Amino acid sequence: MYEHWHDKHQASTLTGMSVKTIERLAAKGEIQQAERPRPGLRPATVYNPDDIGRIKAEREPGAFLMPQTAPPVSQPGAMVPAAAPVNWGTWLECFAPAPPPQPPTIRRFLTIAEAAEASGLSMNFLRHAIKTASLPAVRDGRTWKVRRDDLDKL
């Protein structure tokens, strides 16, 4: 019954898509799939050749080009349709300067490595200060976090 249907690899080669993409399209219902029985083996997954042809046609170069709105002028003096009006405001927005970059946000809590870089102190000194409670810190999973205010006071 499914002798003329394509298997995964044939469908992949015909459409230029990966096998995984073919399987995803089939799972979404964009390609009809069926099981072709094979004697002594597991059934092979096959795909509808009409759906494969449709997908192939959609992927061909030029498939997404807009059709021409005006036929070519073949006779001198023939009327040419007027062009659509241009929205100059929208067109000029494309050339507007980008907004200035935002200043970096100042983080309230720093890891020990970030605190060492910001303060110029060594990581070992900061760990010792945390251990002796001269620098308050909060445990965040496996790392320690230090408030920037407390680091400035140290």
The last residue of a domain, from among 21, 39, 59: 59
What is the number of domains present in the chain? 2
Q: For each of the chain's 154 residues, which pLDDT tens digit applies?
A: 777 888 888 888 888 889 899 999 999 999 999 998 888 999 889 999 999 888 888 877 655 555 555 555 555 555 555 556 666 667 677 777 878 887 777 778 899 999 999 889 999 999 999 999 999 999 988 889 999 888 888 7
- In a domain? residue 1: no
- In a domain? residue 142: yes
- In a domain? residue 52: yes
Residue with tokens 């759906």: 51
- In a domain? residue 79: no
- In a domain? residue 69: no
Please state, in angstroms and as integers, the Cα–Cα distance from residue 130 to each residue in 43, 59, 109, 119, 139, following that order.
65, 61, 14, 15, 11
Predicted structure pTM score: 0.40
Both structure tokens of 69:
């709105």
Identify the domain containing residue 23 by its residue range: 6-59
The last residue of a domain, from among 33, 59, 85: 59
- In a domain? residue 104: no
- In a domain? residue 89: no
